[in-house]
Chain A
Amino acid sequence: MNKKETNFLNSKLTELVDNGIITDIQFIAAKEHFGTKKESKSLSTVFGAIGIFLIALSIITLFAMNWNNIAKGLKVIISFVPLAITAYMLHEYMYKGNKKLQLYTSIFAPVSIIATNSLIAQIFHIQTEIYELFFTSLLMFLPIAFILFNKLSVLVYSVGTVIYSLVAINSYTAESEALLKTFILALPIIIANFINYRKDKNDDKNILMWITNVILVTLFISHKEWINPESILMYLYMLYFLTQTLFDKTNPLNKVLSFAFMFYLLLSCTTAEMLEFTEELVIHVDTLLFAALAGVFIYLSEAYKNPKEYFIFAFIALAQFTGLQAEFLFVLVNLIAISLGIYKIVIGNQKNSYPEIKQGVSLVLLIIMFRFISAELSFGIKSILFLIAGTCFLLSGKVIKKKIGGNKND
């Protein structure tokens, strides 16, 4: 089978599993029959990439810990090392077509760009705010994302745009300036959408879905009252499941309701003040409408068959409805989210269900990123934690590859 046929088979078999027509075991058997072990390779590669990413973070924080003992000139040279590595990786990918490097560069490049910019800002005490650092870093990453043009680089750029928008609009900067810059960052996403669609109309829908919904998230989070880590985590997680029904051709009603749901999210940004009978009543009406629409969505997408997946969503929605904002709730929510992610990885591994493993991995990674951004731990402790986490992912990738039986040439 050639690559196009393999991609087509993979997408169709995944669709059959998602619609419950075949089981995960039949999925694996069908793929093995046609000689495709791509999925197992890609899973261990993803684990390897995550492991490398976390170990890279560990090295970076280790440098940060001993930073003051290094001479200024040497600091400047060291600060360019991440960019030099990125340049080398990109060169290897462009000239030798190494597909693994495409994935690794998608992860390493944005980290290295932020690291270099942060280090230079620290050396010269440059007075930039976090959102300005993000804006500059995203612009530097943009040409690399277009060259790589894979799911991960597009996703990283898109999520980076959302984070920029989140931080900038919630800061003291002029809101119109932040929204304009958000639009500037989001515009290449739309262009990438069209390029991808023209290239191959049967391409994996995930890119299109993530792109479309990230743009919508970027627009609606300009509503400041909703900006807190739990809300964003919930909406991103909801959008992940929402996208699976958005382009579901077998059930048009799902599509209609999905659009209605997203329209509500946008509308609520502009009409929240109009619902102001009392301050408390605004919150309750808003949350009730959200809960009702979410309930309809869960019923129609048949997510109620797996209630554990929505536990975290229900918990956060309940917390918002009852106004519980205590710090212990913050910690509990994150513990539940990471436990759910690990649970999905373990269950997915037992059932040999790659979609479940990927869901678990995406949730765990999301939590780690949020905690890295907001945690006030010392650099030494962060370095050790990231090293441990990265090593665990690398070893897990090797174990999964052995268990599923990936290609020995990987």
Chain B
Amino acid sequence: MIKLPFKKFVIYVITMFMLFFIPIYTIAINSNTLKDGTEFLFEVQAYDPYDMFRGNYLRVTFKEDTVPAYSNFLDLNYNDPCYVTIGVRPNGFAYFKHISKERPTNTSDYYETTASYYSWAKEYSVETPTRYYMNENKSLAAEKYLNDNIENAYVKVRVKNGKMVLVGIYVNNMLIDTID
């Protein structure tokens, strides 16, 4: 029969594993993407909502959050998982090139997301990263500055093996956190 202190030790260790595993795994995945992922720039537009636990944030929407599907209609429903590959236009900004139900094998520059809706223009709208957390005292002013200079605003992301991590929002080539 297992002695009680050893049983307690095993239960405690298992509990600690379940407690710490999820946050450590989350940090590891995101840090890896930030360190080794390919960098892309997307044009954006924004507004300023509030999260009850995580504070104020800027909510950015990608100007181009659709991907054409006239050549490969996929019968995707709302919230169905999908993979979009990313291309870069001559002006340096990224766009979503191609959509598929299977994970691409010829590139690591793809983003794992969910389909939103299929429009009459034969395009799929996909879910993109939208939240950028920042100092609550600056968020309202940042939103205003962003909207006043929206033509010169973009978001920098890093992409690796389906994971897209938001690095920063830039306006006039300056990180929005540093703007007064």
Contacts and interface: CB of A to CB of B under 8 A. Distances in A.
Interface of A: 64-65, 67-68, 76, 79-80, 83, 86-87, 90-91, 94-95, 113-114, 116-118, 120-122, 124-127, 130, 133, 136, 139-140, 142-144, 147, 173-174, 177, 372-374, 376, 378-379
Q: Name the 10 nearest CB pairs between A and B, nearest first.
A: A68-B135, A125-B166, A124-B30, A122-B133, A118-B53, A143-B15, A122-B54, A127-B129, A118-B54, A373-B52
B20 interface: yes
Nearest to B113: A127
B52 A67 contact: no
A90 B15 contact: yes
Contact of A143 (B18, B23, B30, B79): B18
B136 interface: yes
A124 B12 contact: no
Contacts of A125: 129, 131-133, 165-166
A80 B23 CA distance: 9
Interface string B51-70: 11111000000000000000
Given A86-B19, A125-B165, A68 B12 contact: no
Contact of B8 (A76, A95, A124): A95
Contacts of B78: 174
B2 interface: no
Contact of B30 (A117, A126, A379): A126
B179 to A, nearest CB: 13
A147 B8 CA distance: 10
B16 interface: yes
A130 B52 contact: yes
A378 B136 contact: yes
Given A68-B134, A124-B165, A378-B136, A76 B27 contact: yes
Given A67-B135, A68-B134, A127-B130, A122 B55 contact: yes
Contacts of B23: 79-80, 83, 116-117, 120
Contacts of A177: 79
B177 interface: yes
Interface string B19-55: 1101100110011001000000000000000111111
Contacts of B26: 120, 124, 126
B12 A91 contact: yes
Given A80-B23, A95-B8, A127 B52 contact: no
A108 to B, nearest CB: 13
Contacts of B22: 117, 136, 139-140
B1 interface: no
Contact of B19 (A87, A124, A376): A87
A121 B18 CA distance: 18
Contacts of A130: 51-53
A91 B13 CA distance: 10
Given A86-B19, A122-B133, A143 B14 contact: yes
Contacts of A64: 55
A143 B138 CA distance: 39
B12 A90 contact: yes
Contacts of B18: 139-140, 142-143
A147 B15 contact: yes
Nearest to B8: A94
B74 interface: no
Contacts of B15: 90, 143-144, 147
Nearest to B167: A125
B174 interface: no
Contacts of A374: 52
